[in-house]
Structure 1
Amino acid sequence: MNSYCLFGATGGCTNACLVHTLNAGFHATALARTPSKLLTIFKGNIADIHAIKDTLSNHDAGTTGTMQMSLRRPVTIDNQEICATATKNTIKALQEIYKAQPSTVLNKPSITVISTTDVSDVKEDVPFAFRILYHVVLADPHNDKKEMERLITENAGNGGSFRGSVIVRPSLLTGDQSVKGGQGWEKLRVGREDEPAVGYTVHRADVGQWIFEQVVKTGGKVRFG
């Protein structure tokens, strides 16, 4: 059975995904500032490479899995490069693990990150009424998301630190991580970068459940339709 490592699992979309992951009987490891008794969890910060290595290394030998980082933050965050920094640290931690344990290269993890709309250079994916909010007010944190995506893309696939990657770009997030708070993941309109499903808002619980259904349960092989 695949095992899963989650960063930022104490709230938001990732927490909702974690609930479904645990209920389905998957093995999960998380890195969080406040430890929980619900699962194997390490106390630490995403800026601490040693903590990341401990979290990533806590998998059964021979298994492959999907790491998920929930790094979305409001415009008022004090670290405007948190997503890019966390990604760089994760890549560095994996490289150190591969160097110290060469056999782990055969079982590289895939990675799933929660990004945002308005970071694509391919096609507009933000509704007209929200464009000032996204293009102007949220410009700085969105630049951080773009850098995160660039790092993920450059380090996924052959020769990279990750076996593969999934980048999720939800519309403006609402609600909390309560699994009962959304409308149900089946009702979500899902698109691709070249054909985005433009929408105004989406509930965190629905995003978390979609990631569980379409990424966790498939082992990282996303299914559409």
Structure 2
Amino acid sequence: MQPPKTILFLGATGGCGQAALRRSLAAGFTCIVLCRNPDKLTSVLSPEVHPNLQVFKGNAHDMEAIKNCIVSPHDATSFVDFVISTIGAWFELRKMTLEDVHVCEHGMAVLLNAIKTLRTERGVSGRPRVIGQSSTGISKFGRDTPLIIYPIYKGLLSTPHQDKRALEELLFNSGEEWTVLRASFLTNGNETSGVAIKVGVEDPVSGVKSLAIGYTICREDVGRWMFDNILNCSNDNSLIIFVVTIQFSDKKAIEGFDICAGATS
């Protein structure tokens, strides 16, 4: 009998990451979470209730902390099966900028370096599939956002989008197995029913394979889509080394959007 899937979550104390984490725990996967404030997570998801949950205090920019979490708890010679990075920075309206303008780029660089270091220094085997959450509005192959919100992307969100582009480029050139998940403006609330999620696929070299243009998407639905279409699909490798965009097509969904959406999870 094979051990359960192992997943390292970076940035799962809330938002999209926690939505995917909850579903992964319910599926019986072994879930490891690295976070700066464990109490914030364990007050919602307790390891006593979820014995397949391991929570470690640390920063995703600390290579030693990453190295301690990225090896499978079932086999010290192998990496975890997945790494989900949904880290981001809050948009400070007073300063009109992010609290850390390189948070995503730095976090991904540390993660990829930790994987390479463990391979060379400790002989850890395997190839963890890295899922990096990004944002719509940054494709080099054309517009994937409605014209009505295009100025917001190019204005208020230009700085966080530079950080997301840097994250993506690191993955594109990493030689690892990865999927970039670009979500549109993120909203809060419960999982949405009755509203179709539009999905687009892009090859970072050859360009758009299928185009999706939409307005917003709920954080809960991002986590649900990530679980249903990536984490819980054992034999489906169709999205490896591809960029996926997900968003709602309903224009009404733009009401009450969160300005942090383009930058954080």
TM-score by length of 2: 0.75
Residue of structure 2 in register with 1:45 after alignment: 59
- Which ranges in structure 2 are unaligned for 5 or more consecutive residues? 48-52, 93-97, 203-207, 245-265
Aligned length: 212
Equivalent residue for 1:204, pick from 203, 219, 239 = 219
Residue of structure 1 in register with 2:180 after alignment: 167
Deviation at 1:72, TM superposition (A): 3.6
Equivalent residue for 1:96, pick from 107, 112, 117 = 117
Corresponding position: 1:54 with 2:54: no
Alignment of 1:1-225 (within 5 A): 1-35=4-38, 36=42, 37-38=46-47, 39-61=53-75, 62=78, 64-76=80-92, 77-102=98-123, 104-105=124-125, 107-155=126-174, 160=175, 162=176, 164-176=177-189, 181-184=190-193, 187-193=196-202, 194=208, 195-219=210-234, 221-222=237-238
CA distance in 1, matches of 2:220, 2:144: 21
Deviation at 1:34, TM superposition (A): 1.9
CA distance in 1, matches of 2:220, 2:238: 18
2:131–2:178 contact (8 Å) kept in structure 1: yes
Residue of structure 1 in register with 2:260 after alignment: none
Question: Larger Rg: 1 or 2?
Answer: 2
CA distance in 1, matches of 2:155, 2:11: 26
Letter in 2 for 1:80: V
Residue of structure 1 in register with 2:205 after alignment: none
Secondary structure class of the residue paired with 1:129? helix
CA distance in 2, matches of 1:126, 1:209: 22
Bigger strand share: 2
1:16–1:204 contact (8 Å) kept in structure 2: yes
Change (3 A) 1:185 1:72: farther
User: Which structure would you say has the larger RCO, counting Cα contacts within 8 Å and 6 or more residues apart?
Assistant: 1
CA distance in 1, matches of 2:214, 2:14: 23
Secondary structure class of the residue paired with 1:191? strand
Aligned residues with identical type, % of pairs = 27
CA distance in 2, matches of 1:46, 1:80: 15
Letter in 2 for 1:137: L
2:70–2:79 contact (8 Å) kept in structure 1: no
> For each residue in 1:180-213, what CA deviation from the matched residue of structure 2 results, as whole angstroms up to 9, or x when unmatched?
x021498311111313211111000001000000
RMSD between aligned residues: 2.0
Moved over 4 A (4+): none
Secondary structure class of the residue paired with 1:47? coil
Letter in 2 for 1:211: M
Secondary structure class of the residue paired with 2:34? strand
CA distance in 2, matches of 1:63, 1:185: 38
Secondary structure class of the residue paired with 2:70? helix
- Which ranges in structure 1 are unaligned for 5 or more consecutive residues? none
Deviation at 1:64, TM superposition (A): 4.9
Deviation at 1:23, TM superposition (A): 0.3
Change (3 A) 1:140 1:46: same
Letter in 2 for 1:183: T
1:185–1:206 contact (8 Å) kept in structure 2: no
> For each residue in 1:97-137, what CA deviation from the matched residue of structure 2 results, as whole angstroms up to 9, or x when unmatched?
112221x23x1101001100011101210111111110111
Letter in 1 for 2:69: T
1:29–1:55 contact (8 Å) kept in structure 2: yes
